[in-house]
Structure 1
Amino acid sequence: MERLEYKAELEWDGNVGSEARVREFAFFIDTNTDGNNRGPNPTEMLLSAIGGCLMVNWGRLIKKMRLDVKALNVEVRGWRGLEEPQLKEITYKITITTGEDEKKILRVKELAEKYGTVFNTVGAEKIKGEVEIVRP
């Protein structure tokens, strides 16, 4: 079976954070509560990964379908209770500025979710999304 492999290496900072290395990129993962606030916390990184996954797929599909898009933004949010260490709800909102037909845009949403590696690893049933179309 062919497969794609991904790798991240992390080095502890001596407190609660770490420096992560992925390919030629380095970034900090930390907290603003009991850490040094040198980077996003792991939950924020997860939400960013979901948003990044969606954005990569939206970008690929926009190019493939030759859609005329002026702007594209995604906001991802997650909620958990104070007692249970698990995001119970994850939502995202795509805001797209385009004159394209709504059916085409909703097809992009469908395909971006269907083929999103991070999106599907977290679980499509756990993530709810909406699209706002802004007409130029």
Structure 2
Amino acid sequence: MERLEYQVELEWDGNVGSEAKVREFSFRIDTKTDGHNSGPNPTEYLLAAIGGCLTVNWGRLIKKMRLKVESMEITVYGWRDRKEPQLKEITYKIRIVTNEPEKKILRVKELAEKYGTVFNTVGAGKIKGEVEIVRPR
């Protein structure tokens, strides 16, 4: 089995935030509630990671299947109760502009979810998605 390894280093800012370093990239993690609002909070990064995972897989599959797609937008939502520190629901919506048959687009959705690392780590059963196919003029 080929093993892929990932590493992130974080340096605390002395309050509740940090500077995260991934390979040659860095980004802020903070909160707007008791931090300095200098970056998204960890939950927002989690939702962005889910959306990024879907985008990468959709992009790969669109190329592999040679589909003609004018544009695609993915929005990921999550909510939690203030008293319980767990997202109760994670949903996403993909808006795709294409003339490709609905059957092919839904196959992309199925495969992107099946092979998404972040998607499956969070738990495919916890994430619900829908696709809106918009026909170009």
Q: Which moved more, 1:92-101 or 1:1-10?
A: 1-10
TM-score normalized with structure 2 length: 0.98
Deviation at 1:29, TM superposition (A): 0.3
1:52 aligns to 2:52 (yes or no): yes
Distance in 2 separating the partners of 1:134 and 1:39: 33
Distance in 2 separating the partners of 1:2 and 1:109: 26
> Percentage identity across aligned positions?
80
| 1:25-36 matched pairs, under 5 angstroms | 25-36=25-36
Q: Deviations over 1:28-86 (max 9, x none)?
A: 00001110111100000000000000000000000000000000110000011111000
Q: Deviations over 1:87-124 (max 9, x none)?
A: 01000000000000000000000000000000000000
User: How many residues were matched structurally?
Assistant: 136
Distance in 2 separating the partners of 1:132 and 1:2: 36
RMSD of equivalent CA atoms? 0.5
Partner SS for 1:70: strand
Partner SS for 2:131: strand
The runs of 5 or more residues in structure 1 that have no matched partner are: none
TM-score normalized with structure 1 length: 0.99
The runs of 5 or more residues in structure 2 that have no matched partner are: none
Partner SS for 2:96: strand
Residue in structure 2 matched with residue 121 of structure 1 by the alignment:
121
| 1:41-80 matched pairs, under 5 angstroms | 41-80=41-80
Q: Deviations over 1:4-48 (max 9, x none)?
A: 001100000011000000000000000011101111000000000
Deviation at 1:2, TM superposition (A): 2.2
Distance in 2 separating the partners of 1:135 and 1:37: 39
Residue in structure 1 matched with residue 23 of structure 2 by the alignment:
23
Partner SS for 1:3: coil
| 1:100-115 matched pairs, under 5 angstroms | 100-115=100-115
